[in-house]
Amino acid sequence: MSGGKLATIGGVVLASTGGIGLIAGCGESSTAGTQAAAAESTDLPWPYEKFTAADIDRAQAIAHDSWFEGFCTYAVLSGIITVLKEKVGGPYERFPIEAFNFAHGGTAGWGATCGTLIGAGIAASLATGSKGGEEITNEVIRFYSDTELPIYVPDDPKAQISAVSKSGTPVCHISVNKWMAKQGVGFLSAEQMERCGRLSADVARKTVELINSHVDGTFKVLEKAPAFSLGTPAQTNCSACHGDNVPPVPTPGGGESLIGGH
Ligand code: HEC
């Protein structure tokens, strides 16, 4: 293509040499044309290379530090995507992480789903496709809900914290308030921010471990999502909010499971 002009039409690179246009797919330019089209493709899944133990450590450190730049969703995505930019490049280099900052604080501060889990789902979907993304997110949420967090201890903590807590739910409001009550601090304290930074690192690790196993073919759905096991979308711990009087769900379960039902 040296000396020729390059034009992009419909995402396919056309090489023009001295007035005669060579259209990708005809003759010698086809390989270059195919490669260019493949490099530009944004179809899922995107190319993925398994993270080594060192890659995971690096993703965790970036996730923790990035929390202080763009909060939880941005933190998890930064940790994973930054390493993928280096290892794989391609479409990850043009991925606009900042487009997902809004999901912090349980979506723009409304205390709904913890933003780390949104980041986990996006990264898992990019690396394994939309079905894999949903399956992996289901497992990440179970880990998040059932585990005393945070686990990660950074080299450069921004505050000293000691409390760990089990959220029992993916809900930001419950998760962060349970932890703050245990640590005895309020929202936007240095301690709470440090906790959410460490939590982002924990979620980044779990997500990458599950993406690795998905790519290996060893990933297993351990439990269906509540929507399919309980017959209603839920955070599983009905009695946490309803006490002993859990209202019966309007329609009994039995819908086809999108997760684990195949
Ligand atoms: C995070 C708290 C929370 C959890 C966990 C939760 N619910 Fe609810 N649920 C609510 C709130 C709040 C309402 C609305 C109550 C109202 O406005 O009267 C509600 C409403 C309902 C309703 C509508 C009928 C009614 O009486 O309001 C049903 C049915 C229900 N929940 C079932 C469940 C089941 C089953 C589970 C567990 C699988 C569950 N919920 C888990 C908070 C929760």
| pLDDT the model gives residue 251 | 66
CB contact at 8 A, 17 and 3: yes
Q: How far apart are CA 86 and CA 80, in angstroms?
A: 10
Q: Which atom of ligand 1 is nearest to the CA of 250?
A: 29
Tell which one of 172, 178, 235, 242 to mutate to probe ligand 1, the residue whose CB is within 8 A of the most ligand atoms. 242
Name the nearest CA neighbour of 151 among 164, 139, 140.
164
> Which residue's CA lies nearest to atom 25 of ligand 1?
247
Residues ≥6 apart with Cβ < 8 Å to 216: 50
pLDDT in tens, 141-157: 999 999 999 999 999 99
CB contact at 8 A, 100 and 68: no
Q: What is the dihedral of CA 121, 125, 126, 130, to 10 degrees?
A: -150
Name the nearest CA neighbour of 154 among 188, 123, 200.
200
The first and second tokens of residue 131, run together, are 């079905």
> Which residue's CA lies nearest to atom 30 of ligand 1?
247
- Does residue 246's CB lie within 6 angstroms of at least one atom of ligand 1? yes
| pLDDT the model gives residue 231 | 84
CB contact at 8 A, 159 and 190: yes
C-alpha 170 – ligand 1 centre gap (Å): 15
- Does residue 242's CB lie within 6 angstroms of at least one atom of ligand 1? yes
Which residues of the chain, if any, have pLDDT below 70? 1-40, 251-262
Name the nearest CA neighbour of 67 among 56, 78, 58.
78
Residues ≥6 apart with Cβ < 8 Å to 87: 49, 51, 55
Q: How far apart are CA 219 and CA 262, in angstroms?
A: 14
pLDDT in tens, 109-127: 999 999 999 999 999 999 9
- Does residue 235's CB lie within 6 angstroms of at least one atom of ligand 1? yes
The first and second tokens of residue 100, run together, are 């997902």
| pLDDT the model gives residue 165 | 98
| pLDDT the model gives residue 191 | 98
| pLDDT the model gives residue 229 | 87
- Does residue 171's CB lie within 6 angstroms of at least one atom of ligand 1? yes
